[in-house]
Chain A
Amino acid sequence: MHFSEDDLREALKRKDPGEGFTQRVMARVEQAKAEGKTKPVNGNGNRSFLAWWRLRPAWTFAVVTLLLLGFAWGGYQYSEYRHAEEMRIAAEKQKQMEEKQKELQAEAEQAKAQAILALEIARAKLNHVLQQAQVPAGIEKIRRQRL
């Protein structure tokens, strides 16, 4: 017996399951949910969240690319910021050191001036006393003491 492929297609064409099939399916789904055999699809926020992205690969790709670029840019900015901060801190330290150096220098200058002043007064008073005493020999005496 011969039959054609069209005959086969005709024989195997789709059949409708009949009235109420959808309702019966939904009833079964509800029953399974009630029995705890199945979780509601949106019971877990992550699943629906992930599903949304899975359905939109172009969006997903765009968002991931943007995020990656954002991270890279952020990382670059952060490293620049860190570098600038380090430079700033180094400059501050350098400035502090220079100021400290200047302070010490000023202090030393002042001490020198004080020493000179004191010696000047000592010289003046020493000579004044010796002169008052009219004792040139006093100087010789001092010199002998020194020796």
Chain B
Amino acid sequence: MKRVMGMIVGLALCCAAARGYGQDAKIQLDSLNKLSDKAARVTDVTLDGSLLQFAVNMIEKADDGDEDVAQLKSIMKNLKGIYVKSFEFDEASQYSKADVESVRSQITARWTKIVQSIDKRSNEHDEIYLLKSGSGEHVAGVLILVAEPKELTVVNIVGDVPVDKISSLEHHFVINDKDSDKKQKKGKSHDEE
């Protein structure tokens, strides 16, 4: 009986830990929304829950014969959320350090900064963070932070992220210009869950 209780407690702790890791992987980006007013071009993507599942299902139905489609499928299958906030400004200094800090402050000790690039001449500061899973065997989250004078982009991907595959994605799957324009204008696609 004691042994069974111990196993149950251990399992609960693991679940809590896993949930904790899951929560760490998602970065809250809503504080950046105020920059939409100043930006000339905004890309805002929030894809998780059932909406992400829709996307995964649609991609799953696509033909495996295309190598890039196959790669896309392998990227998407274990993702839990994709969050993008990208603001392009006509003029420099339309966002502040505090805006960037609001993102950085959420990076806990579990995240690992794997790449950082600072260019003082162009006043550009780029970072890539990875969050390892509890077991350390795979990636639980990715955060890409690109801060340029006239652009601020944050990409947060939650789940088992095949970063190398994302990096090597060659094909543009956006169907046509009209679609890409629509998606790059001010607008949100939120998960309704």
Interface residues of A in 63-82 (CB under 8 A from B): none
For the complex, give the distance between the alpha carbons of A133 and B115 in Å: 7
Min CB distance B133 to A, Å, is 11
B150 — which chain A residues lie within 8 A by C-beta?
none
Q: In the complex, which range does the number of interface residues on chain B fall in?
A: 35 or more
Contact with B along A104-136 (1 / 0, CB 8 A): 100111111111111111110111111011010
Whether the pair B55, A115 counts as a contact (CB closer than 8 A) is yes
A93 in contact (CB, < 8 A): no
Whether the pair A117, B126 counts as a contact (CB closer than 8 A) is no
Whether the pair B124, A121 counts as a contact (CB closer than 8 A) is no
B32 in contact (CB, < 8 A): no
Chain A interface mostly: helix
* Interface-located stretch among A8-16, A20-28, A46-54, A139-147: A139-147
Total interface residues on A, CB under 8 Å, equals: 34
For the complex, give the distance between the alpha carbons of A142 and B142 in Å: 11
Whether the pair B169, A115 counts as a contact (CB closer than 8 A) is no
Contact with A along B57-74 (1 / 0, CB 8 A): 111000000000000100
B163 in contact (CB, < 8 A): yes
A40 in contact (CB, < 8 A): no
Known: A126-B128, A127-B167, A129-B127. A138 touches B172 (CB 8 A): no
For the complex, give the distance between the alpha carbons of A130 and B117 in Å: 8
Known: A113-B183, A145-B132, A146-B138. A126 touches B47 (CB 8 A): no
Known: A125-B146, A126-B144. A111 touches B58 (CB 8 A): yes
Interface residues of B in 114-164 (CB under 8 A from A): 114-117, 119, 124, 126-128, 130, 132, 138-139, 142, 144, 146, 153, 155, 157, 162-164
* Interface-located stretch among B2-10, B20-28, B173-181: B173-181
Whether the pair B163, A145 counts as a contact (CB closer than 8 A) is yes
- On A, residues with C-beta under 8 Å from B are 104, 107-123, 125-130, 132-133, 135, 138-139, 141-143, 145-146
Instruction: Report 6 cross-chain contacts, Cβ distance below 8 Å, ordered by A residue.
Output: A117-B180, A117-B184, A129-B127, A139-B164, A142-B114, A145-B112
